[in-house]
């Protein structure tokens, strides 16, 4: 299939009919941004079945219709037509009758879109399958839109599997498998629903069977219950008749008993009335006598209380009289003490008054003497201060002169000592051995610094040599690592392919039991599959006795079989198989291509010819083209051969990996040794540098110490000169101070004047103190006398107040004692009188209690007699009541028995329609006596058994027949669904097997092309594809590993932007080489590439255009890419919102230029 042209009308910005010619080679589409270049790619995707408005950069599919501009109205439809050259007949079978296919899609606003193929309406799915079978479509990786390269780079490995599926050409296979899976799920859902319906029907049928059995049991029990009810009702009716007769007899007996008991009760009632009439008089006498006893008892208790109160009052009066007399004595004593105290206080007050008068008289002279002593003391103190001041001035002047002389002398001595010390130290420093040793140490340190600098330089040379060796070893190690990576990658690829083929082989072995163990030479798999077909799955050898018959290769002698035509090789020479297949294989010939008619005519019965492609010619004229059901068998044989090859190749690959790993260990050892030598050199250099730094530091210290010593000597010389001058000045100052001290006057006369003045001052201070002490004593005595006089006056006043209070208290006590005496005299005779009255009351109370006891005994006897009569009367009345109740009970029993007979009669009539008497004759049972309780228990048991049956469906038999008829129809439908599901599962399995085979083949092919194209694009390096994330190739992801020149093998995502873009381009073109699409659209793929990579990209495009029949449509802005195109289409927008297409045939233009 070849895409020839694309016509657009009303699609987005292409409002006018526009035709884009798609020719062989490279067709470029150029134009400024926003002019509508990408609309061409979107039109191509839209006509191939794109259904997502978002992919069309719109909110709805109507957005692809020209929306109008300021100068042009909007269109109501859009139409895109793709013209395809189908002379190769690669389209689907229903479209292969035409050499040219025109696929068009037309959309009308708000009415949806419609597809047509050569003018005939087609479904969208048919259009999508048409392009999918041609390895292209709306979502084909061959349509690389803007950002598609970045999407491939950023895609997950599982998402990249779609690229591999496109290369394998199984996109249409996926669609068919998806449809089959949808139908399978629908069929399984229908089967599950049918199973649920059948299960419900089976449950309903089982329930109806139980209901039918319950209905039969119900009918049987109902008949038995009817007979038992009749017998029980008749027996109860007869028993009720007997019960009526017995109840009437009992009722007569109860009536006679009631009459007798009534007469006895009347007699006892009369006796009870007589006894009760005598009781009030006896109780009145008892009450009067009890009241007299109570009155006398109360009077006795009152008299006893009064006598006790009188005795207690006499005792209280005696105690009060004693207390009043004692209080009177105490008050009289206090009055005597008060008189004595007042006399003493009056004497003390007179003495205090005399002392106060004496102190007042001595107060004036004392104060005058104290003032005169104060004046004399002041004068003496002034004289002492003047004498002390004069003496202190003389002493201070002498001390100052003496101190100045001593200080000058001491300073001169100290300066002389310091001068001598400094002179000694200077001379010692100049002549010391340390100075000489310091010079020698400095020279030795300088020599050591130079030696260590030489050692560091030698170490640096060793480091450079070791570093060079390490770099060389690292380069060798990287080379070996790359070789190891390649070896491991090869081993991983072989192992992955081996594991995948082993899983496929295991799965096939599990699905096909007993397949013949065959081995066929490479290239003859299709021939063997065509010759054996499905017979390859038959078992070999005779089966066990009694085993179910199956297809088998039993083997047969073939000595007389005819030979194959001359020049034809027998297939048996290329096949290793069990002997049972030998005869079949010897009669199959292998030819190249299509055999001639003469050769076919020479075939004898049983013989057949096959070629390597899998075509079959049989002796009877039958011909089978390659493919069909034999394709899977051939593929399994190829997989078996490939499995053997892989098993043979894995061991050398592992050996190569081990060999390279050993070499890598050697190189790593060399690199480690070089690195160790380099580290040792660096350590030696560091040690030398540290030693040099230490010696240099010590040298600097020595030099500083020498400079410090020289400076110290110089400083000491300066100090010696300074101290010499200071010593001369100090000695001169000491001489001057001694002369000034000798010129000072004598201070002894001033000291005598100070002593005399101090004596006078001390005598004046003593006289002043004595005068002041005497005056203070007089003042103190006067104050004390006055205070004592005031205190004594207050005490005398208090004692006088106490005397008045004591006189009042004595008068009160006298009156109280008189009153208490009178009251005691009045109460003394009362207790004896009260005792006499109490004796008389005791006698009267004894007589009253005796009379009350006699009256109480009479009442008690009468009450006992009355109680006995009452009990007898109550018993008689109770017996009468019981007799009446018994009579009523018997009457009720008779009435109840008669009602029971009537109820039984009515029940029998209602149930059976006859009287109870006629039941035995009507239902055929004897009139014998029946045990009612036993019969009722049996009837209850039967009724309970019938009740346990619950609600019974009496139409269960009819409903069961209808359900069983429906079940038969459902079982037939279930069988049909299971057959359909088995067919669908087989179809899906075949599609999966075919998909795995084609996907593995595509992976190998794409991987090979990708490796070559990567090297071509990058000018070296290596790359590979890996299957990851799943063992099933249909679910595995596609991982891209790349190693640009000078770098290590790594994942695509770790490369730079330009490297990623070139690697993705290599993958896209590898897919083209594997399963070339009719068209490839590259929309600004070269945008992220620099000029050098653009050249490589264009070279690859030229290579791909010459190698495949793919037609390339390239949208670009790059001038280098434009110059490499075979033709250019320019998209312009002369009018806002309206795109136009112009073209230039660059090859024709070049030829015209060359001719002119």
Residue numbers belonging to the annotated binding site for ATP: 32-39
Are 864 and 282 within 8 A, CB to CB? no
Are 780 and 308 within 8 A, CB to CB? no
Are 904 and 236 within 8 A, CB to CB? yes
710 backbone dihedrals φ, ψ, rounded to 5°: -60, -45
| CA pair distance 334, 151, nearest whole angstrom | 133
Rounded to 5°, the CA angle 481-662-649 comes to 80
Rounded to 5°, the CA angle 153-157-159 comes to 85
Strand partners, 143: 1081
Inter-CA distances, 441 with 262, 436, 694, Å: 163, 9, 14
Residues 6+ apart with CB under 8 A from 901: 237, 240, 241, 244
Report the 10 Å Cβ neighbour count for 1130: 16
* Known binding-site positions: 32-39
As given in the structure block, the two tokens for residue 733 are 């100052």
Percentages of the chain per state (helix, strand, coil), in multiples of 5: 70, 10, 20
| CA pair distance 458, 446, nearest whole angstrom | 19
Are 32 and 49 within 8 A, CB to CB? no
| CA pair distance 94, 1005, nearest whole angstrom | 30
Residue closest to 20 by CA, chosen among 1147, 1142, 1137: 1142
Residue closest to 501 by CA, chosen among 636, 654, 651: 636
Residues 6+ apart with CB under 8 A from 281: none
DSSP labels, 550-561: --EE-----TTP
The three-state secondary structure class of 570 is strand
What does the CA dihedral 19, 42, 170, 116 come to, rounded to 10 degrees? -50
Rounded to 5°, the CA angle 126-128-131 comes to 110
| CA pair distance 345, 795, nearest whole angstrom | 8
Positive or negative, the Cα torsion across 196, 202, 206, 208? positive
Are 893 and 295 within 8 A, CB to CB? no
Residues 6+ apart with CB under 8 A from 392: none
Residues 6+ apart with CB under 8 A from 524: 571, 574, 575, 590, 612
The three-state secondary structure class of 536 is helix
Residues 6+ apart with CB under 8 A from 371: none
- What does R_g of the chain's alpha carbons equal in angstroms? 75
Residue closest to 1017 by CA, chosen among 1038, 1055, 1044, 1041: 1044
Residues 6+ apart with CB under 8 A from 614: 526, 527, 529, 530, 626, 627, 630, 631, 634
* Greatest alpha-carbon span in the chain: 193
As given in the structure block, the two tokens for residue 619 are 């002796």
Residue closest to 623 by CA, chosen among 578, 591, 652: 591
Are 935 and 228 within 8 A, CB to CB? yes
């Amino acid at each position: 299939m070849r895409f020839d042209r694309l016509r657009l009308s009303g699609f987005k910005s292409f409002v006018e009919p526009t035709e884009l010619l798609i020719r062989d080679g490279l067709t470029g589409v150029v134009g400024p941004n926003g002019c509508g270049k990408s609309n061409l790619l979107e039109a191509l995707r839209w006509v191939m079945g794109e259904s997502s408005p978002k992919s069309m950069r719109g909110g709805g599919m109507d957005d692809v219709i020209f929306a109008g501009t300021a100068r042009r109205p909007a269109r109501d439809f859009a139409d895109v037509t793709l013209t395809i050259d189908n002379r190769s007949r690669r389209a689907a079978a229903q479209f292969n009758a035409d050499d040219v296919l025109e696929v068009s899609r037309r959309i009308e606003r708000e009415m949806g879109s419609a597809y047509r193929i050569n003018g005939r309406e087609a479904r969208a799915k048919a259009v999508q399958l048409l392009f999918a079978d041609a390895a292209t479509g709306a979502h084909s990786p061959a349509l690389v839109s803007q950002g598609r390269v970045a999407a491939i780079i950023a895609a997950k490995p599982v998402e990249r599997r779609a690229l591999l599926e496109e290369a394998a050409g199984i996109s249409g296979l996926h669609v068919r498998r998806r449809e089959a899976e949808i139908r399978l799920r629908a069929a399984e859902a229908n089967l599950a629903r049918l199973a649920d319906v059948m299960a419900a029907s089976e449950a309903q049928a089982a329930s109806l069977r139980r209901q039918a059995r319950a209905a039969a049991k119900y009918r049987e029990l109902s008949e038995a219950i009817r007979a038992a009810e009749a017998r029980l009702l008749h027996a109860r009716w007869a028993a009720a008749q007997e019960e009526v007769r017995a109840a009437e007899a009992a009722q007569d007996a109860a009536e006679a008993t009631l009459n007798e008991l009534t007469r006895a009760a009347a007699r006892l009632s009369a006796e009870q009335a007589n006894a009760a009439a005598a009781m009030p008089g006896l109780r009145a006498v008892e009450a009067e006598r009890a009241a007299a006893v109570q009155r006398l008892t109360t009077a006795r208790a009152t008299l006893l209380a009064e006598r006790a109160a009188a005795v207690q009052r006499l005792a209280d009066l005696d105690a009060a009289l004693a207390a009043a007399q004692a209080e009177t004595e105490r008050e009289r004593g206090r009055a005597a003490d008060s008189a004595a105290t007042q006399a003493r206080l009056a004497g003390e007050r007179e003495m205090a008054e005399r002392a106060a008068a004496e102190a007042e008289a001595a107060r004036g002279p004392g104060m005058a003497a104290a003032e005169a002593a104060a004046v004399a003391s002041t004068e003496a103190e002034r004289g002492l201060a003047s004498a002390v001041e004069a003496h202190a001035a003389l002493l201070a002047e002498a001390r100052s002169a003496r101190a100045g002389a001593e200080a000058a002398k001491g300073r001169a001595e100290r300066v002389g000592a310091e001068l001598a010390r400094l002179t000694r130290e200077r001379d010692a420093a100049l002549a010391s051995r340390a100075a000489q040793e310091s010079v020698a140490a400095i020279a030795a340190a300088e020599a050591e610094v130079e030696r260590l600098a030489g050692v560091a330089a030698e170490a640096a040379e060793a480091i450079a040599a070791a570093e060079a060796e390490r770099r060389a070893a690292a380069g060798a190690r990287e080379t070996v690592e790359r070789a190891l990576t390649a070896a491991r990658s090869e081993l991983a690829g072989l192992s992955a392919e081996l594991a995948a083929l082993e899983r496929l082989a295991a799965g096939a072995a599990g699905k096909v039991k007993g397949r013949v163990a065959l081995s066929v030479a490479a290239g003859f798999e299709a021939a063997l599959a065509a010759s054996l077909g499905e017979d390859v799955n038959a078992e070999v050898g005779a089966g066990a006795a009694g085993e179910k018959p199956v297809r088998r290769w039993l083997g047969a002698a073939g000595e007389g079989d005819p030979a194959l035509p001359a020049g034809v090789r027998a297939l048996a020479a290329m096949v290793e198989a069990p002997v049972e297949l030998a005869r079949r294989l010897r009669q199959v010939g292998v030819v190249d291509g299509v055999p001639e008619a003469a050769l076919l005519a020479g075939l004898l019965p049983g013989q057949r010819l096959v070629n390597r492609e899998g075509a079959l010619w049989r002796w009877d004229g039958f011909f089978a083209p390659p493919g069909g059901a034999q394709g899977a068998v051939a593929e399994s044989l190829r997989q078996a051969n490939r499995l053997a090859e892989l098993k043979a190749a894995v061991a050398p690959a592992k050996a190569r990996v081990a060999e390279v790993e050993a070499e890598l260990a050697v190189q790593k050892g060399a690199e480690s040794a070089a690195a160790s030598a380099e580290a040792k050199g660096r350590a030696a250099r560091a040690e030398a540098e540290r030693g040099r730094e230490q010696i240099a530091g010590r040298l600097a210290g020595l030099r500083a110490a020498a400079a410090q010593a020289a400076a110290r000597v110089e400083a000491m010389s300066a100090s010696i000169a300074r101290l010499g001058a200071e010593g001369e000045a100090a000695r001169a100052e000491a001489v001057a101070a001694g002369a000034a001290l000798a010129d000072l006057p004598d201070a002894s006369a001033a000291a005598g004047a100070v002593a005399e003045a101090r004596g006078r001052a001390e005598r004046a201070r003593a006289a002043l103190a004595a005068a002041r002490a005497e005056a203070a004593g007089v003042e103190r005595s006067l104050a004390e006398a006055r205070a004592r006089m005031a205190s004594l006056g207050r005490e005398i006043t208090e004692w006088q107040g106490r005397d008045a209070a004591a006189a009042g208290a004595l008068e009160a006590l006298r009156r109280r004692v008189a009153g208490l005496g009178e009251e005691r005299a009045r109460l003394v005779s009362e207790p004896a009188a009260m005792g006499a009255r109490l004796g008389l009351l005791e006698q009267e109370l004894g007589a009253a209690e005796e009379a009350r006891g006699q009256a109480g005994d009479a009442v008690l006897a009468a009450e006992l007699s009355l109680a006995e009569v009452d009990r007898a009367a109550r018993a008689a009345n109770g017996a009468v009541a019981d007799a009446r109740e018994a009579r009523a009970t018997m009457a009720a029993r008779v009435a109840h028995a008669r009602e029971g007979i009537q109820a039984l009669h009515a029940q029998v009539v209602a149930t059976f329609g006859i009287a109870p008497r006629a039941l035995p004759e009507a239902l055929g049972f004897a009139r014998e006596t029946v045990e009612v309780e036993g019969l009722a228990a049996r009837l209850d048991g039967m009724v309970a058994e019938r009740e346990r049956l619950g609600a019974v469906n009496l139409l269960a038999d009819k409903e069961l027949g209808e359900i069983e008829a429906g079940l038969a129809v459902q079982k037939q439908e279930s069988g049909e669904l299971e057959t359909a599901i088995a067919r669908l599962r087989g179809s899906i399995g075949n599609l999966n097997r075919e998909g795995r085979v084609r996907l593995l083949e595509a992976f190998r092919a794409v991987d090979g092309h990708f490796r070559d194209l990567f090297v071509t694009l990058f000018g070296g390096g290596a790359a590979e594809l890996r299957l990851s994330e799943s063992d099933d190739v249909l679910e595995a992801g596609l991982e891209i590993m790349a190693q640009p020149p000078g770098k290590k093998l790594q994942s695509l995502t770790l490369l730079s932007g330009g490297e990623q873009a070139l690697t993705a381009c290599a993958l896209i073109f590898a897919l083209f080489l594997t399963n070339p699409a009719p068209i490839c659209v590259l929309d600004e793929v070269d945008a992220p590439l620099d000029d050098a990579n653009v050249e490589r990209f264009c070279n690859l495009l030229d290579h791909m255009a010459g190698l495949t029949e793919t037609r390339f449509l390239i949208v670009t802005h790059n001038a280098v890419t434009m110059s490499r195109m075979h033709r250019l289409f320019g998209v312009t927008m002369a009018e806002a919102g309206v795109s136009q297409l112009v073209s230039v045939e660059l090859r024709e233009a070049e030829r015209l230029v060359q001719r002119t």
